[in-house]
Structure 1
C-alpha cells in the first residue's frame, strides 16, 4: 500500500506531489528557450511585441534598482513549503483539530436531546459515517466538505454511544476520552523516537490481524441481530477464557491494531510532507487520523464497559 500502508492513503500517493520550484535565476542566465520566469521565449506562445514588452519592463525595473537591492533579491532564501502550497505538519495539525471539533459538535447534539432521539441520531451517524468514510477513502482528491460531514456524523454516533454506555456505567465516557488521548500521545512519542515503525513485516501482521478481527466482528453482529446470543456485547461477553470475558482479549487486540494504525497514519503524513505533497492533501491526512481516533475511542469505551459489566 502507498505511503505507510493505511488504506485511506492507498491509491492516492499524494497525486501532484512535486519538488519545490527552482528559484528564478538572474537575467542573462536562463535556460535556452525560456526566460528567467520559465515562460516561453520569443515565438513560443506569445506575440513578439508581448515578449519584448515583458522583457523590457523587467530590464527597466532592474535598471532602477541599486546593486544592494538586486543582491538582496537574488540571495533571498528559497520559499518554504507553506509559501509554495505544499503540505506541512502545521497544516495537518490545524485540519485535524477542525475535524475533531466537528466530531465534538456532533457529539454535543446527542448529549442535549432526549435519549430516544439521541439513540436515533446514533444510528444515523453510524450509517452515514460509514458511507462517507467509504466515499472519502476512494476519492482521488480530498473534499473538505465531505470530510467534515463525516466527522460530524461520527460525532453523532460517538455521542449517542457514550450517552448510552455512560448511563449504564457512569464515568466510562470520560475514561474513554482520557484513554484515547493517552494512547495517541504514547504512540506519537514512540513514533517520533523511532522505536516503533510501520515495517513491512509489522504491516503484514497488521493486515492479517485486522482481517481476522473484521471477520469476528461481522459474525458477532450477525449472531446478535439474529438472537443467537442475547448478551449485550454478543460473543464478547457470552464467552469466557479462564473466567475472563472474550471481549477483554478482543478489545486489547483491537486497541493495539488501532494504535498501530496511528503509526501508519504518522508514516503516511511524514512521507507526504517530505515528498512535497500539495497542501490540499493535509485534509486527507486529517481524515485518516480522525478515522483512526474514532475507531480507537470505540474500542476503548467498549472494553471499559465490558470490564465494568463483569464486576
Structure 2
C-alpha cells in the first residue's frame, strides 16, 4: 500500500464490517473540515491576520504535526477516530498557508490547483471503477517504491532549505524541475488508485467498521498531497 498512513496499519476483522459508504461519508466529513480550515486560513491571512513572514513557518509546523497525527493513526489504528478531526484541521491549515504563499506570487494558481485536484480524483475513480487501470501487485510495488523515493528526496530538500540551499535542478523551476513535478503529480494521482483498492480489500476481508477512519485519513492525505503538487507544478508553468 503506497499511502504510508495505511501501509503501516494493522487492521482487524470485526463483527460489524466496514463499508464503502462508511468510508465515503467519513472522507467527505474530513474533507469538509479541511476545506473550512483551509479557506479560513487563506482568507484570514489575506485580510492581514497572519504576517506573510509567518506563513511558511505555519505551513511547516502544520506539515510536521500532520505527519505525526498520521503516524499515530497508522501505528495505533484504534486511535484513528480520535486523531481524524485534528488531522483534518491541521491539513486544512497546511493547504491554506501554502495557497496564500502561491496566491501572492500567482493569484490564479490556487483555484487552478483545486480544480485540477478534484478533476484528477474523479478521473482516477472512473479509471478504477471501470477497470481501465487495475491495481496489481506489480503496480502497487512500483507506486510504493516511487512514493518512498519521493519522500526521501523531499526530506533531503527540506534539510537543504534549512541551510539556505536547494537540491540542484529538481526545485529551481527549470525544465528538469517541471518534468520532476509532473512525475510526482502522476505518482500522487496513482496513489489514489491504491487507496481505492485498499478500501475494496478492507471491505472484502471484513475489516471492522471502526477502521473506516484510517482509510478516510489516508484518502485525505493523498488529496492534500495532490493539491500541493498541483500548486507547485502550475506555479512552475506560470513562470
The normalised TM-score by structure 2 is: 0.88
Provide Cα deviations, 1:98-139, integer angstroms capped at 9, x if missing partner.
101111121133122423176154333222112111111211
CA distance in 2, matches of 1:213, 1:297: 16
User: Are 1:166 and 2:103 an aligned pair?
Assistant: yes
Question: Which of the numbers 192, 195, 214 marks the counterpart of 1:284?
Answer: 214
| Map 1:10-159 → 2, pairs under 5 A | 10=7, 12-17=9-14, 85-110=16-41, 111-113=43-45, 114-116=49-51, 119=55, 120-159=57-96
RMSD between aligned alpha carbons? 2.2
Confirm or deny that 1:253 pairs with 2:188.
no
Deviations 1:114-170 (A, max 9, x none): 231761543332221121111112113243230111110010011011011011101
Q: Structure 2 vs 1, CA of residues 270 and 129 (structure 1 numbering), >3 Å: closer, same or farther?
A: same
Alignment of 1:227 with 2:164, yes or no, is: yes
In 1, are the aligned partners of 2:13 and 2:205 still within 8 Å (CA)? Answer: no
Which structure's relative contact order is higher, taking Cα pairs within 8 Å and 6+ residues apart?
2
Match of 2:224 in 1: 294
Q: Which of 211, 232, 236 does residue 170 from structure 2 map onto?
A: 236
Aligned residue-pair number: 233
How far off is 1:282 after superposition?
1.4
1:234: Cα distance to partner? 6.8
Runs (4+) off by over 4 Å: none
SS at match of 2:213: helix
Aligned with residue 135 of structure 2, among 156, 174, 198: 198
Note closer, same or farther for the CA distance 1:136–1:203 as it changes in structure 2 (3 Å cut): same
> Which structure has the greater CA radius of gyration?
1
- Taking the aligned partners of 1:180 and 1:239, their CA distance within structure 2 comes to 21
SS in 2 for 1:143: helix
Query: Which string of whole-angstrom CA distances, capped at 9 and with x for unpartnered residues, describes residues 32-60 of structure 1?
Result: xxxxxxxxxxxxxxxxxxxxxxxxxxxxx
Taking a change above 3 Å as real, the CA distance of residues 213 and 90 of structure 1, as seen in their structure-2 partners, is same
Deviations 1:52-77 (A, max 9, x none): xxxxxxxxxxxxxxxxxxxxxxxxxx
- Contact 2:199–2:215 at 8 Å: present in 1 too? yes
Q: Distance in 2 between matches of 1:194 and 1:13?
A: 27
Contact 1:224-1:234 at 8 Å conserved across structures:
no
CA shift for structure 1 position 223: 2.4
**Residues 17, 275 of structure 1: 8 Å contact kept:** no
CA contact (8 A) 2:5 2:70 kept: no
Higher helix share: 2
TM-score, normalisation: structure 1: 0.69
Seen in structure 2, the aligned counterparts of structure 1 residues 93 and 239 have a Cα distance that, compared at 3 Å, is closer
